[in-house]
Amino acid sequence: MSELPLTLSLVLRRAARIGGARPVVTARPEGGERRTWAQVTERALRLCGALRRLGVRPGERVATFGWNHHQHLELLLGVPLLGAIVHPINVRLHPDDVVHVSREAEDAVVFVDASLTPVLAELRSRLGHVRHWVVMGEEAEVAPAFAGAPRYEELLAAEAPLENLPEVDERTPASLCYTSGTTGRPQGVEYSHRSLVLHAMGALMVDSMAVSERDVVLPLAPFFHANGWGLPYSAAFAGAALVLPGPRLDAGSVARLIERERVTLAAAVPTVWNAFEPVLREGKHELSSLRRILCGGAPLPMRTIQRFAEHGISFLHAWGMTELGPSGTMARAREEGFPEERLAPLATQGAAVPGIELRVVDGAGRELPWDGTSVGELETRGLWGASRYFRGAAGEERFRDGWLRTGDVATLDAHGALRIVDRTKDLVKSGGEWISSVELENHLMAHPGVKEVAVIAVAHEHWGERPVAVVVRQPESRVSFEELVEHLRPRVASWWLPDAAHFVAELPRTATGKVDKKVLRREYAPRAPGPPIREG
């Protein structure tokens, strides 16, 4: 049989030929910037010419520092065609981490959004390894340090589509994304062409996201987060319409975009969807085109699932990680039964998508039964899973016998449904027994006075650790610690009840929009043990 290599040029050819007339739209304040897949792929090939002129060689890294938009998409598609590696840098990383990842990657060229040039201007002296800077986007002013840098459109205008693309082996790295570093320094994951193509095909499967030619796909997940969850490549392969949100990710802007472009599949972390409550309540936007929302990256509260269900919109609840590029599992609502029955599967993270394998192991690495109750560390491997970190001796202990130790604590049931109990680092160990911070958060989120909540472990003289809740109230709410405890009492074992609640205006977030429990632990853990702090 043919051994046609699994490279992104296969994906691009299909986007150009089969999806050629389908639109690719970038949101702009005054409307949308519209192109077709035929134009995007032609421009990606012109970009290849420009990169070659800049002296980019196969195997070198070309970094990006920008939001999701056309030019950024063309980089995701074009850079790997040359055998070079596109490296989308997380624009929300701490400046020291930006310097660290760019130095580790030895980025030869950096493409930066005009609006983000002030951020890099401060770091430029520490990024001496970068040979060329190119400015993307037109609408914002460019920081003086980048005033002389060429503009993306100037580079492209001078080029014809590159015709003689090099032959690229399917195992060649195509893209490099870093983990968000919730537990330490960000680690790089290099995706091969093969893994990106298989991941893109995986997303087209019916029991996965079922991305199809008839879809209008909106990746709100930034490209620096596992290539926008691989959706640009899946949409290109399927010939689906693609909508790119630019920098505006607030609920109002997203709702307007869904309405205007008739989006059918939107993808983002729970933070984005949790913030949708007022928009849903006001009902000003017509969201009926939305056939499903892909949500993962952090626990998805049942309350959010229910709010959308009341408007006829269902979730695909996915578990994944940067190391998987990121797709791992998928839960979907049942099609029949009472509303609660239909939504029940979404309280889990669902079954592994075809191509990915899971197992839960005990402390000695022995596999535990798939019984829905045996709790252990989740391990994974699959067709698009990393087998090591980029340049990383660090993190080697995460890979064992071809399996990746995820750092997630979980159960698997007889039907294969995964339930994430916690992160290993976030579990509360009280009197030698585990308390799931995720489960407590889910119950607390069901209280109408709670807008957001994080439960953390706080040191305790007697019990070792006890749970403490950090709560953001709904704007009009005065809910108290005692009321929250009464709300929890019928729902969890009495020894799970938090010892205290801190009421705060907002929760700290990591660079990928997840609640940063590291910061919360630093802030609140030293105060304990002590009497419960009820207000703060």
Q: Which of 179, 264, 322, 348 is catalytic?
A: 179
Binding residue (CB under 6 A) for ligand AMP from 115, 274, 349, 442 = 349
Q: Which helix (H) or strand (E) segment is 236 a member of?
A: helix 231-238
Main-chain dihedrals φ then ψ at residue 92, nearest 5 degrees:
-100, 5
Shortest Å distance, C-beta 470 to ligand AMP: 18
Question: Is 496 annotated as catalytic?
Answer: no
Question: Is 319 annotated as catalytic?
Answer: no
Pattern 172-191, binding to ligand AMP, x per CB under 6 A? Answer: -------xx-----------
Among the listed residues 318, 369, 365, the one whose alpha carbon sits nearest the alpha carbon of residue 346: 318
Q: Which helix (H) or strand (E) segment is 522 a member of?
A: helix 517-524
Q: Which of 170, 323, 377, 439 is catalytic?
A: 323
Q: Which is nearer to ligand AMP, 319 or 524 (CB)?
A: 319
Pattern 276-315, binding to ligand AMP, x per CB under 6 A? Answer: --------------------xxxxx---------------
Shortest Å distance, C-beta 311 to ligand AMP: 21
Contacts of ligand AMP in 384-403 (CB under 6 A): none
Considering the rule CB under 6 A, would residue 234 count as an interface residue with ligand AMP?
no
Q: Which of 36, 42, 370, 434 is catalytic?
A: 434
Question: Is 284 annotated as catalytic?
Answer: no
Q: Quick check: 404 and 190 in contact, CB under 8 A?
A: no
Q: Which helix (H) or strand (E) segment is 500 a member of?
A: strand 500-503
Radius of gyration of the chain (CA): 23
Considering the rule CB under 6 A, would residue 327 count as an interface residue with ligand AMP?
no
Shortest Å distance, C-beta 275 to ligand AMP: 17
Binding residue (CB under 6 A) for ligand AMP from 423, 443, 460, 502 = 423
Q: What is the DSSP string of 288-338?
A: TT--EEEEESS---HHHHHHHHHTT--EEEEEE-GGGSSEEEEEE--SSS-
Q: Which is nearer to ligand AMP, 115 or 348 (CB)?
A: 348
Pattern 127-156, binding to ligand AMP, x per CB under 6 A? Answer: ------------------------------
Considering the rule CB under 6 A, would residue 420 count as an interface residue with ligand AMP?
yes
- Give whole-number Cα distances, 260 to 257, 264, 283, 315, 492, in Å: 5, 12, 15, 21, 43
> Contacts with ligand AMP: how many residues (CB under 6 A)?
21
- Give whole-number Cα distances, 245 to 87, 106, 137, 367, in Å: 20, 29, 14, 42
Name residue 66's amino acid: G
Considering the rule CB under 6 A, would residue 41 count as an interface residue with ligand AMP?
no
Shortest Å distance, C-beta 326 to ligand AMP: 5
Q: Which is nearer to ligand AMP, 56 or 189 (CB)?
A: 189
Q: Quick check: 360 and 410 in contact, CB under 8 A?
A: yes
Q: Which helix (H) or strand (E) segment is 96 a member of?
A: helix 95-105
Shortest Å distance, C-beta 266 to ligand AMP: 16
Using CA atoms, how far apart are residues 220 and 77, in angstroms rounded to an integer?
18
Q: Which is nearer to ligand AMP, 71 or 182 (CB)?
A: 182
Percent of residues in the chain assigned helix, strand, coil, to nearest 5:
30, 25, 40
Q: Quick check: 227 and 221 in contact, CB under 8 A?
A: no
Considering the rule CB under 6 A, would residue 258 count as an interface residue with ligand AMP?
no
Burial class for 30, CB neighbours closer than 10 Å (0-12, 13-18, 19+): exposed
Q: Which is nearer to ligand AMP, 247 or 407 (CB)?
A: 407
Shortest Å distance, C-beta 294 to ligand AMP: 10
DSSP assigned state of 206? T
Following CA atoms 420, 425, 431, 434 in sequence, which dihedral angle do they give, to the nearest 10 degrees?
0
Q: Which of 284, 429, 486, 495 is catalytic?
A: 429
Shortest Å distance, C-beta 228 to ligand AMP: 12
Q: Which is nearer to ligand AMP, 56 or 89 (CB)?
A: 89
Binding residue (CB under 6 A) for ligand AMP from 408, 441, 452, 499 = 408
The one segment of 15-23, 96-104, 319-327, 444-452 that binds ligand AMP by CB under 6 A: 319-327
Residue with tokens 């949100």: 245
312-316's contacts with Cβ under 8 Å and 24+ in sequence apart are 312/288, 313/287, 315/273, 315/346, 316/209, 316/292
Shortest Å distance, C-beta 172 to ligand AMP: 23
- Give whole-number Cα distances, 252 to 256, 275, 488, 507, in Å: 6, 9, 32, 21
Considering the rule CB under 6 A, would residue 321 count as an interface residue with ligand AMP?
yes
Contacts of ligand AMP in 489-518 (CB under 6 A): 512
Using CA atoms, how far apart are residues 129 and 107, in angstroms rounded to an integer?
7
Measure the CA angle with vertex 129, ends 55 and 187; round to 5°.
105
Considering the rule CB under 6 A, would residue 80 count as an interface residue with ligand AMP?
no
Shortest Å distance, C-beta 203 to ligand AMP: 16
Q: Which is nearer to ligand AMP, 149 or 293 (CB)?
A: 293
Binding residue (CB under 6 A) for ligand AMP from 195, 208, 227, 406 = 406
The one segment of 110-118, 276-284, 406-414, 441-449 that binds ligand AMP by CB under 6 A: 406-414
Using CA atoms, how far apart are residues 465 and 484, in angstroms rounded to an integer?
20
Question: Is 434 annotated as catalytic?
Answer: yes
For residue 508, is the peptide bond before it cis, meaning its omega torsion is within 30 degrees of 0?
A: no
Question: Residue 463 is encoded by which pair of tokens?
Answer: 């019990």
Please identify every residue annotated as catalytic. 179, 323, 429, 434
The contact set with ligand AMP (CB under 6 A) reads 179-180, 296-300, 317-322, 326, 349, 406-408, 420, 423, 512
